[in-house]
Amino acid sequence: MKFTKGSRELDKEVIDKLIAARRFIGLNRSPRREELIVSLTSYDKRIHDVKYTIYSLLNQTLPPDRVILWLDEDSFPQREKNLPQDLLEFKNFGLTIDWCENLFSYKKLLPALIKYPDAIIATTDDDIFYRPDWLRILYDEHLKHPDCVIAHRCRQLKLDAQGNVLPYTKWPTEIKFSAPLYTNFFTGAGGVLYSKKFFYRDVFRRDIFTELAPMADDIWFWAMSILNGTKIKVPIDAQPELIYVDKDMQRSGETLWSKNKTKNDIHLQNVMEKYPACLEFLIREEAETKPHFSVVLFLREGDKLDDFIKVASKQKFIDFEVIVVNSGSRIEISDTPTNFKIVNYPGGNMEDAFNIGLQRATGEYILFQDMNSTLAYNALDVIAKFTVNFGADVVHFTGHVSGGKFVRDGSLRLENDSPVLFSDSKQNRALLWLQDQLSERLETKIFKREFLLANKINFDGDLMEFMFRALIYAEKYLLVPRAFCLCKE
Among 225, 230, 191, 175, smallest CA distance to 39 is for 191
State residue 161's pLDDT score: 78
Gap between the Cα atoms of 70 and 110, Å rounded: 10
CA distance 178 to 292: 8
* CA Rg value for the chain: 25
Q: Are the beta carbons of 95 and 52 closer than 8 angstroms?
A: no
Domain range list for the chain: 4-285, 293-487
Neighbour-count burial for 166-205, b at 16+ CB within 10 Å, e otherwise = eebeebeebbbbbbebbbbbbbbbbbbbbbbebbbebbee
For the domain with range 4-285, which CATH number is right: 3.40.50.1220, 3.90.550.10, 1.50.10.10, 3.30.70.260?
3.90.550.10
395 forms bridges with which residues in the sheet? Answer: 446, 478
At 9, phi and psi to the nearest 5?
A: -120, 135
Q: Which among 45, 59, 207 is positioned nearest to 129, based on CA atoms?
A: 59
For position 6, what pLDDT does the model report?
53
pLDDT value of residue 190: 95
* C-alpha dihedral (331, 334, 337, 343), degrees to nearest 10: 50
Look at residue 368 in the predicted model and tell me its pLDDT: 97
With contact defined as beta carbons under 8 Å apart, do 209 and 106 qualify?
Answer: yes
Residues with Cβ within 8 Å of residue 236, at least 6 apart in sequence:
177, 384, 385, 388, 389
HSE-up (13 A, CA, CB side) for residue 22: 5
Q: Name the amino acid, one letter, at 139.
A: Y
67-78 in b/e form (b: 16+ CB < 10 A) is bbbbbbeebbee
Q: Which one-letter amino acid corresponds to residue 315? A: Q
Class of domain 293-487: alpha beta
Per residue of the chain (489 residues), give pLDDT as tens. Answer: 566 655 578 989 999 999 999 989 999 999 999 999 999 999 999 999 999 999 999 999 999 999 999 999 999 999 999 999 999 999 999 999 999 999 999 999 999 999 999 999 999 999 999 999 999 999 999 999 999 999 999 999 988 878 899 998 888 887 877 789 999 999 999 999 999 999 999 999 999 999 999 989 999 999 999 999 999 999 988 998 899 998 776 555 444 444 555 688 999 999 999 999 999 999 999 888 889 999 999 999 888 888 899 999 888 888 899 999 999 888 776 678 888 999 999 888 999 999 999 999 999 999 999 998 899 988 998 999 899 889 999 999 998 898 888 888 877 777 777 898 987 788 888 888 888 888 889 999 999 999 999 999 999 988 999 999 999 999 999 999 999 998 876
How many whole angstroms separate alpha carbon 252 and alpha carbon 189?
A: 17
Which pLDDT value is given to residue 95?
A: 98
Residues 6+ apart with CB under 8 A from 193: 120, 121, 122, 138, 139, 141, 142, 149, 150, 151
Residues 6+ apart with CB under 8 A from 364: 290, 291, 292, 293, 387, 448, 449, 450
pLDDT for res 426:
81
**Between helices 264-274 and 217-227, what is the axis angle to 10°?**
30
